[in-house]
Amino acid sequence: MVGKLKGAALLLFCSMWLTQGVQAQNCRLSVSQSRIDYGVIRREAFVESPSVALGTRTMQLSVTCAEPSVMALRFIAAADGQGFRFGRQGRFKLRLKHALVDGRAVAWEVAQRPGEAASGQFLPGQILVAHATGMPVPGHRLTAQVEVETDLPSDALQVRNETRLEGQGTFELVSPIAPPTR
């Protein structure tokens, strides 16, 4: 037991909380898992490099609406340049992939820049809108994979005691109800 406690001084416990947030009036947003646990990280496990990639994790996101809605999403978390803060020094990025609205493949565009295609990566302050053929796509159900990539500068592994690193954020559905078609 003593040997385990001595080694514990070099451990990082890394996890991330991703939750559903504010929802459009007639819709429900859910994620397949609200916590991504990177487990215990020992600095001896990494070769000297400027940063340490904790790997890509994937979860499912779904939105179900009673009435057809334009699917627009944002991710709210502490910003860090082109991503979101993980611990004091780390960063995580989120990207939507394989998105379908009512079974139809869709792409993403940034709400603040209509007509400009987006890669599906959430950036701080941006709203991503599901679209096809240049138009927002209203529907009852959106499904997508969310890829989460997390990295830390190697300095973050230089700890004296057990240290917990976390990242937190909330998905928000900002979709308006689609106007009735005539």
Residues of the chain above pLDDT 70, percent = 73
Q: What is residue 73's predicted lDDT score, i.e. its pLDDT?
A: 92
Which residues are CB-neighbours of 67 under 8 A, at least 6 positions away?
Answer: 26, 140, 177, 178
The arrangement of secondary structure in 18-33+48-157+169-173, i.e. its CATH architecture, is Sandwich (2.60)
**Looking at the predicted structure, is the pLDDT value of residue 23 above 80?**
no
107 falls in which pLDDT band (50, 70, 90)?
A: very high
Residues 120-166 have pLDDT tens digits of 899 998 999 999 988 899 999 999 999 999 888 877 666 667 677 77
State phi, psi for 155 to the nearest 5 degrees.
-60, -30
18 falls in which pLDDT band (50, 70, 90)?
A: low
Q: What is residue 1's predicted lDDT score, i.e. its pLDDT?
A: 28
26 falls in which pLDDT band (50, 70, 90)?
A: confident
Average pLDDT over residues 27-46: 75
**Looking at the predicted structure, is the pLDDT value of residue 39 above 80?**
no
Half-sphere exposure of 52 (CA within 13 A, CB side): 22
Q: What is residue 35's predicted lDDT score, i.e. its pLDDT?
A: 76
Higher-confidence residue: 143 or 118? 143
Average pLDDT over residues 14-25: 52
| Helices vs strands, H then E, count in the chain | 1, 16
